[in-house]
C-alpha cells in the first residue's frame, strides 16, 4: 500500500505542478489580453478626444460667427434708432464704441444749441439702410467713426 501511496502522491504532485503551470499560462495570457485591451482603449480614448476637440472647435467657430451676426444686427438697429431719436446727444456713437466721437457730438450740439442733431439723424438713417454685413464691416470691423 505504501507503493500505491507513493504513486498517488507522485500523481498528486504532478497534477499540482500541471495545474500551477496551467495557471501561470492562463495568467500570462490574461495579462497579454489585458495589455491589448488597454492599448485598444487608449487608442479609442485618443480618437474620442480628438473628435471632441474638433467638434468643440467647430462649435466655438460657429458660436463666434453667430454672435458677430447677432450683435452686429442688434447694434445696427439700436445705433440707428438712437441716432434718429437722440442724435444730438451722440448716444449712438457710444453704443458703437466711439467714445471720442460721442463727446465731440455732444460738444457740437451744445455749441450749436442742438442744431448738430441733424448729424445724428443722418447717421441713424444711414445705419438702418445698410445691410447687416455692410454695417458690421464698416462700423464695427472698419471702425468708420463718421457717416
Q: Domain locations in the chain?
A: 2-141
Predicted pLDDT of residue 1 = 57
Beta-carbon neighbour count of residue 73 at 10 Å?
A: 15
**Hunting for cell 448716444 — which residue is that?**
91
**Whether the predicted pLDDT of 11 surpasses 80:** no
Residue scoring higher pLDDT (136 or 125): 125
Q: What is the distance of C-alpha 42 from the center of its chain?
A: 26
Predicted pLDDT of residue 72 = 53
The H-assigned helical ranges of 87-142 are 91-95, 99-111, 117-129, 132-135
Work out the end-to-end distance of the chain between its first and last CA atoms, rounded to an integer number of angstroms. 119
**What does the pLDDT average to over 31-57?**
84
**What does the pLDDT average to over 88-117?**
90
Q: What is the pTM of this model?
A: 0.51
* Reported confidence tier of residue 73, pLDDT bands at 50, 70, 90: low
| Cα–Cα dist 97/147, whole Å | 15
Amino acid at each position: 500500500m505504501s507503493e500505491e501511496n507513493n504513486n498517488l502522491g507522485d500523481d498528486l504532485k504532478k497534477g499540482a505542478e500541471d495545474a500551477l503551470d496551467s495557471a501561470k499560462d492562463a495568467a500570462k495570457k490574461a495579462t497579454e489580453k489585458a495589455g491589448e485591451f488597454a492599448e485598444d482603449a487608449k487608442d479609442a480614448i485618443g480618437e474620442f478626444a480628438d473628435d471632441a476637440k474638433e467638434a468643440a472647435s467647430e462649435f466655438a467657430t460657429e458660436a463666434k460667427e453667430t454672435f458677430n451676426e447677432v450683435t452686429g444686427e442688434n447694434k445696427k438697429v439700436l445705433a440707428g434708432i438712437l441716432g434718429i431719436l437722440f442724435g444730438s446727444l451722440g448716444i449712438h456713437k457710444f453704443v458703437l464704441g466711439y467714445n471720442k466721437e460721442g463727446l465731440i457730438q455732444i460738444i457740437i450740439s451744445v455749441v450749436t444749441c442742438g442744431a448738430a442733431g441733424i448729424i445724428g439723424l443722418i447717421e441713424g438713417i444711414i445705419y438702418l439702410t445698410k445691410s447687416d454685413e455692410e454695417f458690421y464691416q464698416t462700423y464695427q470691423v472698419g471702425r468708420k467713426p463718421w457717416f
